Amino acid sequence: MKLVNRKASLQVNQNEGLIFEKSSSGKAAWKLPPLDVPDVDMSTLLGEAERKDLGNMPEVSEIEIIRHFTRLSTWNYAIDLGMYPLGSCTMKYNPRVNEAVARVEGIANGHPYQPEKISQGALQILKTLSECLIEITGMDAITMQPAAGAHGEMTGLLMVRAFHHAQGRPRKKVLIPDSAHGTNPATAAMVAYSVENLKSDSRGMVDIAALEAQMNEDVAALMLTNPNTLGVFEQEIHKIADILHAKGGLLYMDGANMNALVGKVRPGDFGVDVMHLNLHKTFSTPHGGGGPGSGPVAIKKKLEPFLPTPVLVAKPDGTLGFEYNRPQSVGRVRAFYGNFGMFVRALAYIQANGPDGLRQTTEDAVLNANYIRKGLEGTYDLPYSTPTMHEVVFSDKLQAKKGVRTMDIAKRLIDYGFHPYTTAFPLIVSGALMIEPTESESVEEMDLFIEAMKSIAEEVEENPQTVLDAPHSTRVSRLDETAAARKPVLRWKPA
Amino acid sequence: MLKAIGLRSIDDLFAPIPAEYRLTRDLKVPRQMAESEIVDYFRQRSRENGEGYTSFLGAGAYAHYRPVIIDSLISRGEFLTAYTPYQAEISQGTLQSIFEFQTMISELTGMEVANASMYDGSTAAAEAVMMAVRLTGRRSVVVARSLHPEYREVLATYATHQGMPLSTVGFNENGQVNLAELEKSITSETACVLIQSPNFFGTIEDVVAVAEIAHKHGAMLVVSIAEAVSLGIIEPPRQADVIAMEAQSFGVPLGFGGPYCGVIATREKFVRQMPGRLAGQTVDKQGRRGFVLTLATREQHIRREKATSNICTNQALVALMVNIFMTVYGKVGLKELAKQNLAKTAYAATRFAQHGQVLFGGSPRFNEFVMVTSEDPYAINGRLLGHKVVGGLPLKKFYPELGNAALWCCTELTTRGAIDTAVGLVAESERSVRSGKEESDVAEVAR
């Protein structure tokens, strides 16, 4: 390592096999109370439906389970260990009070079908959070049902479809900028819209002339991420909205990057008709190794009749309840009411921040991204000089001359004690390094990151092989992904 | 920091946003609260939310005991605050855990492979159907009316714009899929038959017979499992081509409906049409065993509009809860746990049958049963609520043809005392209705 590594040191960690390899007959970590009703004869009750054998399920003791998962956990990097600068993922601190309140008895154990009369607590949480999110986005109504961002996109586009259908002029396609997340085109396909690519201009923004040329009565919507995946605010957003609306199209906003806007500007005010939020990004609910998320969809009034059922309403007696009879609804997108546990956490986050805190969060997130941009400009190529919001995108152009690509730099960053940034995305930047620090990082942590990135750049010049072979300090070195895909081994089998 | 960047004020950072859109006032959200106030707020909401009630509700969300080590382990920051394990070298913990999850789900369902999770049982069922549509090249779908009604609604939403005609097949007097009707509903255009077992009424389906009919016509069989604990004592639907499961019963809190944990399991030969993430085993440069996310060419971040699904974020942390639960109970415990569910429900069904009419007794059931009463179950439930008991789910909304029917559920947590109390209250109300007495003190509940 070029410099002394100030962020991390090597430490022994425990080896651990698969749980099945520790199993032996007779070990147990469970105990049931004595049965207080008459025992039953399984074969009489079930006949041929009775299961005789549970195959290779493990038998292990409690301490073995604790050690097993604790050992596995130590092989993970996490926000709790340090900066996790994945672009467009918003890896911010996950407050522990969120976890505490999500586990309060009546909240954790409420049954989705318990009578509304004894569900007022949960419904009040749903209502308060809905109101907060409507205010934050500047929209008119919201559905909390979608389970994640992509699910929200689908719900949003279903409403777009239903809207055009109700107008008596169904449309065929959606426009999607070339910088968009892969979920956008995949979602469009799921609701049977064809996808038309929209190119970006030299500033990394929507090419207004191209949009004007491509916009017509066949276009249902434009799916726009704002700030986009370059971390650039679409400065001509008013023109974009006008061009769409003039031809009867709708503006869909992917809210993945809402962490750049909360408290500073509201999508509803700049012409957005429908948008989803990611509570697991902007509103601090934990990513949990890939989920659960929550993808509420906020809409303008004209889309309200199409909201998924049920819709939360205040009843004449002042209590809250669900309304199911909505003839124009797109239908249900999920059983029950959504990932309620995430609503609890998101509301706790909003309460812990208040109006001032939410605004400052956004300011700090943007400030941090600009600090990193300033710190690494010159060391890494900055393909777009347009002002940066909450994330900054560099390219590996300078390092590629030595045969080192963004993924190699990312892997080397692991040795310096950081999680890599997002690699090779957005697609419009060749060899992208997409960095989003979030508001959670202190200047000290960011200085360490900048120092590590600069040190790697020097290594690329002096000893590129070190970087190409990275990581050097992990339990396993680079894994053979090609072999994994060619001959998939997707489960353990006894030898 | 501003100085380092070369700016004078924070406002300069927001200059790219056109001035007319910048928010110049405070957001109208609750004022900033102290941690103690936040905790207090949610404790109050909790008290308004069924705290302290004994419940007989199931219907796709089941109250099972959650071993305490689940929360202590998933609270480790390295699991809780990690992202999707794309950077395999520093995500081996999550990846190995997913690999174990996939293995155990495969073992329990009798399938060859399982994915890393879907949003929930309802969306898993819809995605499993779309998978069958891709695999067969056919488009229409036959759905059992005894599939969870909300799962049917979700499927209808997903199918609307996919050009997938749905038809429904009813149930017979045993509560099982009507095989004669099924035979008639399948055509050469049927991609798959979708059933649930145990079905929405708790009845165990004759999967062998359903599979035979589906396969005879070249259609696939998709089986939805909403009560995972049933797998401990009920033979899994091994004849299915795809299983779409809700694993909430395995250690996931009821949480007013979510987050839960959907899963899709299938045969190896179908894996390339499977949606969702998959962890696979491989080796590193030194030949050491390790795990990676694999077969990503099915997924949206690679394939964009040609992906098998748009799913990205899944239910990883909930899948970890499920994984720990399955590990705790294991080969023997799951069976014993399932047996207790069966015994409690058998006892309850027998006791209730003395006062109401318990339907579908001709076929085996797991931990739910349907009871028809003389009185409207909403009215009965209104009275039970006064005794801090939540009665079975009235089925009028979903199955008007069943009249005054309600779906009751017992798990290992339902005590004999609670069952006896509920039976007593139902008996009392049935007697009073039969004797034609006027009821004036009944507080109708909303649903």
At residue A4 the predicted structure's pLDDT band, cuts being 50, 70 and 90, is low
- B270 inside 8 A of chain A by CB: no
CA distance A399 to A404: 5
Beta bridge partners of A225: A254
Percentage of chain A exceeding pLDDT 90: 97
Joined together, the tokens standing for residue B430 give 């049935």
* Residue B239 C-alpha, separation from nearest chain A C-alpha, in angstroms: 13
The SS3 call for residue A108 is helix
Please spell the DSSP secondary structure of B104-128, one letter per residue.
HHHHHHT-SEE-S-BS-HHHHHHHH
Q: List pLDDT tens digits, range A51-69.
A: 999 999 999 999 999 999 9
Give Cα separations from A230 to A209, A290, A435, B388 (angstroms).
20, 23, 10, 55
**Cis bond leading into B259, ω under 30°?**
yes
Kindly report the number of other CB atoms within 10 A of residue B437's CB atom: 9
Residues 6+ positions from B6 with CB-CB distance below 8 Å: A374
Residues 6+ positions from A238 with CB-CB distance below 8 Å: A270, A271, B18, B20, B21
- B314 inside 8 A of chain A by CB: yes
- A114 inside 8 A of chain B by CB: yes
ipTM over 0.90: yes
CA distance A413 to A460: 12
CB contact under 8 A, A190 and B4: no
**Which of A57, A484, A488 is nearest residue B271 as measured by Cβ atoms?**
A488
Q: List pLDDT tens digits, range A5-54.
A: 889 999 899 999 999 999 999 999 999 999 999 999 999 999 999 999 99
* Residues in chain B within 8 Å Cβ distance of A474: 89-90
- A63 inside 8 A of chain B by CB: no
CB contact under 8 A, A190 and B309: yes
* Residues in chain A within 8 Å Cβ distance of B156: 331-332
At residue A1 the predicted structure's pLDDT band, cuts being 50, 70 and 90, is low
- Judged against a pLDDT cut of 80, whether residue A178 lies above it is answered with yes
Kindly report the number of other CB atoms within 10 A of residue B418's CB atom: 17
Cβ–Cβ pairs < 8 A, chains A and B: 668
- B251 inside 8 A of chain A by CB: no
* Residues in chain B within 8 Å Cβ distance of A478: 89, 284-285
The single residue listed with the structure tokens 């990690």 is B82
Q: Which of residues 394-433 of B touch A (CB under 8 A)?
A: 397, 412, 415-417, 419
What pLDDT score does B314 carry? 93
Q: Which of residues 357-386 of A touch B (CB under 8 A)?
A: 357-359, 363, 366-367, 370-371, 374-375, 386
Closest CA to B148 of B234, B225, B70, B215: B225
Angle, helices B316-352/B92-109, rounded to nearest 10 degrees: 30
* Residues in chain B within 8 Å Cβ distance of A410: 87
- Interface probe for B, chosen from A10, A31, A44, A57 (most Cβ of B below 10 Å), is A57
Q: Checking DSSP bridges between strand A422-423 and strand A194-198, what pairing results, if any? A: unpaired
**Per-residue pLDDT tens digits of chain B, which is 447 residues long:** 999 999 999 999 999 999 999 999 999 999 999 999 999 999 999 999 988 999 999 999 999 999 999 999 999 999 999 999 999 999 999 999 999 999 999 999 999 999 999 999 999 999 999 999 999 999 999 999 999 999 999 999 999 888 899 999 999 999 999 999 999 999 999 999 999 999 999 999 999 999 999 999 999 999 999 999 999 999 999 999 999 999 999 999 999 999 999 999 999 999 999 999 999 999 999 999 999 999 998 888 888 888 889 999 999 999 999 999 999 999 999 999 999 999 999 999 999 999 999 999 999 999 999 999 999 999 999 999 999 999 999 999 999 999 999 999 999 999 999 999 999 999 998 888 877 644 444 444 444
Residue of B nearest to A417 (CA): B90
Long-range contacts of A325-329 (CB under 8 A, 24+ apart): A328/A162, A328/A166, A329/A305
Considering only A425-429, A459-463, B318-322, which range has the smallest mean pLDDT? A425-429
What pLDDT score does A428 carry? 92
The SS3 call for residue B390 is strand
What pLDDT score does B444 carry? 45
- A23 inside 8 A of chain B by CB: yes
- Interface probe for A, chosen from B29, B385, B419 (most Cβ of A below 10 Å), is B29
Q: List pLDDT tens digits, range A306-323.
A: 999 999 999 999 999 999
Q: How many CA atoms lie within 13 A of B433 on its CB side?
A: 18
At residue A3 the predicted structure's pLDDT band, cuts being 50, 70 and 90, is low
> According to DSSP H, which parts of B6-91 are helical?
10-13, 35-47, 69-74, 77-80
* Residue B250 C-alpha, separation from nearest chain A C-alpha, in angstroms: 13
**Which of A38, A80, A135 is nearest residue B27 as measured by Cβ atoms?**
A135
> According to DSSP H, which parts of B162-236 are helical?
179-185, 207-216
* Residues in chain A within 8 Å Cβ distance of B18: 235, 237-238, 270
**Which of A101, A147, A375 is nearest residue B42 as measured by Cβ atoms?**
A101
**Which of A75, A110, A235 is nearest residue B18 as measured by Cβ atoms?**
A235
